A and B are shown apart, each in its own frame.
Chain A
Amino acid sequence: MTYFLVVEVALLFTLIVAKIALFPRLSLAEKSKLLERWSLNFSFEIINRLLAFSLGTLALHSGTFEQASTSGFYFLFYILVLDFIFYCRHRIYHRWFWAFHCTHHSDTGYDFTLSLRIHPFETLVQIGIFILVSSQMHINHWHMFLAAHIFTMQALVSHLDYRIPNTLLLRNLKRIFVLSDTHRFHHDDENPNCNFGFLFSFWDTFFGTAAKGARYELN
């Protein structure tokens, strides 16, 4: 867990430094806006992390994860199941729980800190899903940490505001994984009901919710 947390925090702070290095390009009004957004987004991160650690520790000590699988193939299947549930959950949020999910969509900007702007209710649901699926599927607790780590990293990566090169490899990769420009399309006010995928983008293709048309061009 220490390793996962250190990697996540290191990535987060690398992104902060990278963004701060670009600060001189911004006007004072833009800097103020960025500071306002980041202060709120980081506050959400602290609250959500506290919730996640408290509930995660409780679940671990309850002995839920005793008979567990160590198979790598089973772990991949577990990731697939989790991502499918997250896809369904995302669609449910947009249809019935918009009051909570609008926190994430109410940000006026788009960068990696947007992935931290999650309503605590959503964090509770997320942890609930993790614990329920992991205990039902008899997942090793290290595999559960690894999955949580993969999804956290993916949340950061899919909210990046950097331009993605239009190469053949990345175009093909986008058919399988959600990349930042695919997810940015979801955050566009004109296309609210498309690209719900979290890690894999083929759920959107399969259920017909993939955005049609040209790829989203970043400014």
Chain B
Amino acid sequence: MNSTKLILLSIFFFVFSAWANEKVSDMSNMTGGDSVTDQSEFAISNINRTLAKAFHMFAFADCIAALVLFFIARRNAKTNYTKAKKFFLIGLVCFVSAIIFFLLPKLLFLSPTFPGNFDMRAT
């Protein structure tokens, strides 16, 4: 790599970033910034939290199952294509269901409007 160009570019990035950072800090002080901690789960009922955890655990188990199925598919790909294809497709289904089970709690149990949860907007 052309080291002179690299050094010059790094200095440019550093200077620009430092300048922009100063501006950002000023802005954050004025507006209060955008906090991740705003996404509190205190209004979610215990049962719904447990259900969400169960869904996440199921998603994790699905990931492990998909890994095992892909491994079997890979082992059989050269010797028995039909069997390997079957395992691969089931593995894909597991992968998709893992994603669905990972995302669903956010839309259902962890949503303030879900039955059992306390809706802050009602106050």
Residues of A within 8 A of B (CB): 2, 5-6, 9, 13, 16, 28, 31-33, 35-36, 38-40, 42-43, 46-47, 49-50, 53, 60-61, 63, 65-71, 74, 77, 81, 84, 88, 91, 136-138, 140-142, 206-209
Contact A63 B37 (CB under 8 A): yes
Decide: A77 and B20 in contact? CB cutoff 8 A. yes
Q: Which 8 A-B residue pairs are closest in the complex by CB-CB distance?
A: A67-B28, A39-B74, A36-B77, A69-B24, A39-B70, A67-B33, A39-B73, A35-B77
B120 contacts A by Cβ under 8 Å: no
CB pair B106–A2 under 8 Å, yes or no, is: yes
Chain B residues bordering chain A, tally (CB within 8 A): 44
Does A5 contact B28, Cβ atoms closer than 8 Å? no
Task: Tell whether, in the assembled complex, residue B77 and residue A39 are in contact, meaning their CB atoms are under 8 Å apart.
Answer: yes
B27 adjacent to A69 (CB under 8 Å) = yes
CB closest residue in chain A, given B13:
A81
Would you call A6 and B103 a contact (CB within 8 A)? Answer: yes
**Neighbouring B residues of A60 by C-beta, 8 Å:** 36
The answer to whether A35 and B103 touch (CB under 8 A), given A84-B13, A138-B24, is no
| Given contacts A28-B81, A47-B67, A9 and B1 within 8 Å (CB-CB) | no
B35 proximity list for chain A (CB < 8 A):
66
What are 28 of the A-B contact pairs (CB < 8 Å)?
A: A5-B99, A28-B81, A31-B81, A36-B77, A38-B88, A39-B77, A42-B66, A42-B70, A42-B91, A47-B67, A53-B102, A66-B35, A66-B36, A67-B25, A67-B33, A68-B28, A69-B20, A69-B27, A71-B24, A77-B16, A81-B13, A88-B1, A136-B21, A138-B21, A138-B24, A141-B36, A206-B5, A207-B5
Q: Closest CB of chain A to B42's CB: distance in Å? A: 15
Q: Which of A2, A42, A53, A208 contacts B92 (CB 8 A)?
A: A42
Taking a contact as CB atoms under 8 Å apart, the answer to whether A2 and B103 are in contact is yes
A165 to B20 Cα, complex, angstroms: 40
Chain B residues, Cβ within 8 Å of A5: 99, 103
Q: CB of B49 within 8 A of chain A? A: no
Query: Contacts A68-B33, A81-B17, A84-B9 given: A43-B67 contact, CB under 8 Å?
Result: yes
Determine if B109 is an interface residue (Cβ-Cβ < 8 Å): no
Known contacts A2-B107, A68-B24, A70-B34; is-contact A35 B99 (Cβ 8 Å) = no
A141 contacts across to B, CB distance below 8 A: 34, 36
Query: Which residue of chain A has the shortest Cβ distance to B37 in the bound complex?
Result: A63
The verdict on A32 contacting B103 (CB below 8 Å), with A39-B73, A66-B35 known, is: no
